[in-house]
């Protein structure tokens, strides 16, 4: 298991760098390699490097899912204050989360099959996977800003007692307070 080797690798790398064992090392973890004067096998050091690179991706995905879940919660709360009447049908507030999912299902293939290939064909602009991820994060930030503004407006409509009670399964639950 590579996790067992993270701290010993870091320890040997920092110790050897501080002692100035080998000045030709490119990165910090290279100081821990046996062939560079360290005490850790080269393959183990490379695995730890891969783990660090993967953890960066995992941390950014964590931020994404925290924001995504927050948006889902706000969609539901804000949907309770919207006029959800379409003709004689009343839409449930939870349906707003479905619109988000439907939008993703429609927009992603549109981008991958139409817009990004046209950018490549007409303007010679290639969009990498990392750039696509960045574009998605940017759109998410815009959505969070819009949700924030909507939430501020919603919170301004709360009555003077500054709380909103919600009935769930015949129980009164505090739904919001300013």
Could you tell me whether strands 89-90 and 85-86 are parallel, antiparallel, or unpaired per DSSP bridges?
antiparallel
Two tokens at 10?
A: 């870091």
pLDDT score of 31 more than 80: yes
Position with higher pLDDT, 148 vs 167? 148
Residue 158 pLDDT: 66
Residue 163 pLDDT: 64
pLDDT score of 104 more than 90: no
Task: Give me the mean pLDDT over the 23-30 stretch.
Answer: 84
pLDDT score of 177 more than 60: no
pLDDT in tens, 65-82: 887 787 777 777 777 777
Tell me the chain's radius of gyration from C-alpha atoms. Answer: 26
Task: Give me the mean pLDDT over the 138-154 stretch.
Answer: 82
Position with higher pLDDT, 5 vs 136? 5
Residue 160 pLDDT: 61
Element (H, E) at 86: strand 85-86
Residue 165 pLDDT: 67
């Amino acid at each position: 298991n590579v996790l067992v080797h993270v701290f010993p690798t870091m320890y040997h790398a920092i110790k050897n760098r501080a002692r100035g064992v080998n000045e030709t090392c490119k990165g910090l973890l290279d100081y821990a390699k046996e062939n560079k004067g360290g005490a850790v096998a080269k393959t183990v050091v490379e695995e730890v490097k891969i783990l660090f690179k993967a953890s960066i991706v995992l941390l950014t995905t964590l931020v994404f899912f925290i924001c995504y879940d927050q948006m889902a919660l706000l969609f539901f709360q804000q949907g309770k204050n919207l006029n959800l009447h379409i003709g004689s049908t009343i839409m449930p507030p939870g349906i707003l989360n479905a619109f988000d999912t439907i939008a993703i299902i429609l927009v992603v293939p549109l981008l991958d099959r139409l817009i990004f290939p046209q950018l490549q064909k007409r303007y010679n602009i290639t969009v990498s996977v990392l750039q696509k991820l960045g574009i998605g994060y940017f759109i998410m930030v815009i959505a969070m800003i819009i949700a924030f503004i909507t939430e501020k407006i919603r919170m301004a409509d709360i009555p003077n007692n500054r709380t909103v009670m919600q009935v769930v399964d015949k129980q009164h639950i505090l739904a919001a307070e300013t």
